[in-house]
Amino acid sequence: MSSPLVLVERKSYGARGHVAWVTVNKARRANCLDHETLIAFTDAVNEESKSPDLRAMVVTGAGERAFMAGADLNVIAGQDADGAKLFLTRVHLFCQSVRECPVPVIARINGACFGAALELVAACDLRIASDNAAFGMPEVNVGLPSVVEACLLPQLIGWGKTKHLVYTAETIDADKAMAWGLLESLVPQAELDAEVERVVSMIVHAAPTTMRLQKDLVRAWEGMGTEAAILEGIRVAERTYRLSNEPAEYAGAVLAGLKKKD
């Protein structure tokens, strides 16, 4: 469901299904986020998430300068308390849409990534950045605390580094983001799409029902203690066998390949 603000492209992988690319299309304004853009993005992700053939999703920003530069400062400066509540609720729904997508969501980070955009990145399953990317939580410098999905950052980078970002509003470069554990992959800008495709291809070639169940399980792990997470994993594995023939099909294919090598 494309719009002028948010483009959606479905890349086909034949019988394996498709991957949705969702792109904020405001390159001239560094893909900044206002009410309309947040709504368009959320609607696009939620609509794509309904497709049974969806295998993965990639979210990104148009151009080479910015992934998304965060909230539009005109919105921040021009709203009252009620407006702020509405805007931040929409930021939450924007992030929640990728967390609740039934397949893995990859953030393709092609430049500046600040504030609400970094919250979106934290909500994604995997983060792949080019070497020109930069990251920060500048809210305290514009009179606001960092809120909503900023609460996910400690799971990625720990409490100390999260506090550093939200207290100092410092911008960190891609190398530091990688060293801190914010990113799964960091590549030269010219190699960004190839790295995204490498990761997407591995996801697409996995068992589709199992992959969706795996994402559900990972989400469940986030809110569970160790013992509960182990028991939930056993339940989901049993459900995999009940819902599909994928364990026999995919494990059988691996066994056949091993026999050929012998």
Active-site residues, by number, are 119, 139
Neighbours of 218 (CB within 10 A): 12
What is the C-alpha separation between 121 and 115, in angstroms, rounded?
10
Sheet strand arrangement including 6-12: 6-12, 18-24, 54-61, 105-109, 126-130, 185-187
Number of H helices, E strands in the chain: 10, 10
Q: Which of 106, 141, 132 is nearest to 120 (CA)?
A: 106
Long-range contacts (CB closer than 8 Å, 24 or more residues apart) made by 89-92 = 90/35, 90/38, 90/39, 90/42, 91/33, 91/38, 91/116, 91/119, 91/148, 91/149, 92/148, 92/149
The DSSP 8-state label assigned to residue 182 in this structure reads: -
Long-range contacts (CB closer than 8 Å, 24 or more residues apart) made by 10-15 = 10/48, 13/55, 13/204
Structure-block tokens of residue 74: 């005109």
- In single-letter form, the type of residue at position 63 comes to G
What is the C-alpha separation between 105 and 97, in angstroms, rounded?
10
**HSE (side-chain half, CA atoms, 13 Å) at 29:** 14
